[in-house]
Amino acid sequence: MAPRRWLLLLFLAAGVLQSLAQPDSRGFISIDCGLAEEASYVDDTTTLAYISDAGFTDAGMNYNISAEYLGFSRRGHNLRSFPDGVRNCYTLRSLVSGLKYLIRAGFLYGNYDGLNRPPASFDLHIGVNFWKTVNMSTWGADQGNTATVEAIIVVPNDLLQVCLVNTGSGTPFISSLDLRPLKRTFYPQATAEQGLVMLARLNAAPVNKTGTIRYPDDPHDRLWYPWFDATIWAEISTTERVYGVGDDLFEVPWKVMQTAIVTRNTSKNIWFGWESLDAEPRDDDPSRPGYVAILHFAELQLLNASNGELRQFYINLNDELAYPTGFTPEHLVSNAIYDTKPSRHSGYNFSINATANSTLPPILNAVEVYYVIPSTNLGTDSQDGNSSDL
């Protein structure tokens, strides 16, 4: 793991309606799948213009969801379903070859077919590379019954295909598809050979406990989900702006960095963890998905060093130091400690504990976890292919 300093650059731009299947002025493509051809609208919360998917795919049929599910975001109100063919694709054009992009697909079944039976699962591919199996039953009412699947990839050509693959467990459908350009330097773990699939992107101790932070607070329109547990952690926050200096690889929005969890007692650990997606018990098995974690820190309190005040902590993964020394976040400066290479374990338990000299409890402002997928052949136009063995 390595620390990085960074500079936060915010840019804001007004939503402009698009008439063509082209990225907008920010390079964003925002598709509301199943929207009538030529239709578009400006989303209230993000101010982004969403357009119909008619210019991106020839296959499938449009449906509206049932009225009882209409409470969720407008993007979920309609969808495109693909009853015919094994593999149906969206083609996103006019991309910048070699640039890193965030790509996100949303799925809200909403009983669109009147059968009250969501598909058990179907697969998503990026080009011919397996992206993820979409299993609607793992996304419950607490996520608005909406499955959200996200990846960060380097796009090798000026076009990219996102494909829905029928695996015999129900009819694939899709509600929304977003493409957002990132900076080339961002997420160095994403390379031409390896993409990142999001497992978690968490905003610790948010002011709004139900609000997800995204565009315009995040100029790159990542989704930062609320994460807190008042029974375990205390919360600290600042109204001052949190900056980064230098060469920033993540540009976490300051609204995310302004809040953090701390332990109630300096002697206690902050910890979080997850199980590997596969069930095999052997560590370092190359067929096991590799994970990378990115921990974001900024000091939010003004400490009096001459009074001996110090916040310093170790970051451990499965009881071993993940970063070689104690770490002290700088006041109102955002910094990240992150895996440069994926690691492969059956389970992951990160713990953050105060060093012996620390007078203040450990802190955590935000965390991201991804697993890696091969991303060769992303740009190929070829039809059916086998998924990778991730």
**Binding range to ligand NAG, per CB under 6 A, among 60-68, 189-197, 278-286, 336-344:** 60-68
Residue 325 to residue 357: CA distance in whole angstroms: 13
Site mask for ligand NAG (CB under 6 A), range 311-330, x = bound: ---x-x--x------x----
Site mask for ligand NAG (CB under 6 A), range 126-165, x = bound: ---------x-xx---------------------------
Q: Where are the alpha helices (DSSP H) in 161-246?
A: none
Residue with tokens 């450990």: 362
Residue 255 to residue 241: CA distance in whole angstroms: 8
Residue 254 to residue 52: CA distance in whole angstroms: 32
Taking the least distance from each CB to ligand NAG, the nearer of 27 and 170 is 170
Site mask for ligand NAG (CB under 6 A), range 332-361, x = bound: -----------------x-x-x-xxx----
Question: Number of helices (H) and strands (E), helices first, in the chain?
Answer: 1, 26
| Count, residues near ligand NAG per rule CB under 6 A | 35
Q: List the one residue from 307, 324, 382, 389 that touches ligand NAG (CB under 6 A).
A: 307
Residue 235's identity, in one-letter code, is E
Residue 214 to residue 251: CA distance in whole angstroms: 13
Q: What is the DSSP letter of 213?
A: B
Q: Is 225 in the site for ligand NAG (CB under 6 A)?
A: no
Shortest reach from residue 286's CB to ligand NAG, in Å: 18
Strand order in the sheet with 61-64: 61-64, 78-81, 173-174
Q: Is 63 in the site for ligand NAG (CB under 6 A)?
A: yes
Taking the least distance from each CB to ligand NAG, the nearer of 159 and 310 is 310
DSSP string for 90-132? EEE-S--TT-EEEEEEEEE-TTTTSS----S-EEEEETTEEEE
Residues 61, 40, 47: CA angle, nearest 5 degrees: 130
Q: Is 121 in the site for ligand NAG (CB under 6 A)?
A: yes
Q: Is 210 in the site for ligand NAG (CB under 6 A)?
A: yes
Residues within window 168-197 making contact with ligand NAG, judged by CB under 6 A: 169
Q: How many CA atoms lie within 13 A of 295 on its CB side?
A: 27
Residues 155, 95, 78: CA angle, nearest 5 degrees: 100
Grouping H, G, I as helix, E, B as strand and the rest as coil, residue 74 is helix
Residues within window 101-120 making contact with ligand NAG, judged by CB under 6 A: 120
Shortest reach from residue 324's CB to ligand NAG, in Å: 12
Shortest reach from residue 265's CB to ligand NAG, in Å: 4
Residue 87 to residue 165: CA distance in whole angstroms: 5
Site mask for ligand NAG (CB under 6 A), range 226-255, x = bound: ------------------------------
Q: Is 94 in the site for ligand NAG (CB under 6 A)?
A: no
For ligand NAG, the binding residues (CB under 6 A) are 36, 62-64, 78, 120-121, 135, 137-138, 169, 208, 210-211, 265, 267, 269, 271, 273, 304, 306-307, 314, 316, 319, 326, 349, 351, 353, 355-357, 384-386
